[in-house]
Amino acid sequence: MSTTPPLIPEQRHQEILRLLRSAGVLSIRHIVDLLGVSHMTVRRDIAALEESGQVVSVQGGVRLSEWKGSEPPRERASRAGLELPRKRAIAELAAGLVDDDMVVFLDAGTTCEAVVPFLATRRGLTVVTNDFFVVTTLLDYPSIETIHTGGVVDVSSGSSSGSLAAATLGSISLDLFFLSTGTWDVAHGVTTPATDKVVLKKAAMAASSSCVLLADSTKFGTFERFKVAPLDALDIAITDADLPPDARASLGDLGLDLRLATV
């Protein structure tokens, strides 16, 4: 019976850096769980990365040295330029699921925003969103009917959420829900750092005939404190072809319809 060999220190260092590029900051306990190594091993790895100037220790965890915030980079300006080729490839593949006369919910986020230009040729399309940037982009496509959910405004992400936004979705029948996330993995599913976002995403899932996750491979293997849904509750997940083979196998074991966009 074959077993996966343990990672050598350099491999662990690269994996920690990859996770930090996605999450911004990670707790030591989180890294221990993800890498399957001891607490002491992770502390040694962090010390080595800190000595090389790549990371900085924070209370209970670690962050990238070039990142100055006290939380993961969730501000729209911080995320807008990240992984652009992956986002475009995922967005184009996602748009292929949209037919004429559909009602589609685009979740808040730069990947969902990237879907909009690929919908230009659809007829009779209605797009519902909680993202003000998506609404602004849709102004260039007057043939697409646009509905904003309203709700409590989150200035940093340029979106709204909470019970008021969820109530709007309770009055709409959606054909497709394009769900975005900054964190997803097999054990925790889709997660988010704020409960008001959970409320809205769950309402969109309940209102929709089909739920499609849009998340690039750099976000896989990370999680936040509040759970939105397990991955096997979704219909389709669209990510990029850089998703590692072992991750693909794990998602396949869940029965998830996984689709890989070529960057």
Cα–Cα distance for residue pair 71/244, rounded to 1 Å: 27
**Per DSSP, which regions of the chain are E strands?**
25-27, 55-58, 61-64, 103-106, 126-129, 145-148, 152-154, 159-161, 174-180, 184-185, 189-192, 208-214, 226-229, 236-240, 257-261
What is the model's pLDDT at position 68?
41
Hey, what long-range contacts does 53-60 have (CB within 8 A, 24 or more apart)?
54/17, 55/16, 55/17, 55/20, 58/25, 60/27, 60/28, 60/29
End-to-end CA distance of the chain: 35
What is the model's pLDDT at position 135?
96
What is the model's pLDDT at position 4?
57
Closest listed residue to residue 180, CA positions, set 263, 114, 249: 114
What is the model's pLDDT at position 53?
82
Contacts of 162 (CB under 8 A, 6+ apart): 151, 152, 196, 199, 200
What is the model's pLDDT at position 3?
52
What is the model's pLDDT at position 162?
94
The one-letter amino acid at 94:
A
Closest listed residue to residue 130, CA positions, set 161, 152, 169: 161
Phi/psi for 136 (5° steps) reads -60, -40
Which mean pLDDT values do the consecutive 10-residue runs of the chain (263 residues) have?
67 86 79 88 89 81 63 49 77 97 96 95 97 94 96 90 95 97 91 92 97 92 89 96 89 93 90
Cα–Cα distance for residue pair 235/214, rounded to 1 Å: 12
The one-letter amino acid at 217:
S
Cα–Cα distance for residue pair 250/229, rounded to 1 Å: 17
Prediction pTM value: 0.71
What is the model's pLDDT at position 72?
43
Phi/psi for 52 (5° steps) reads -85, 0
Rounded to 5°, the CA angle 219-223-224 comes to 125
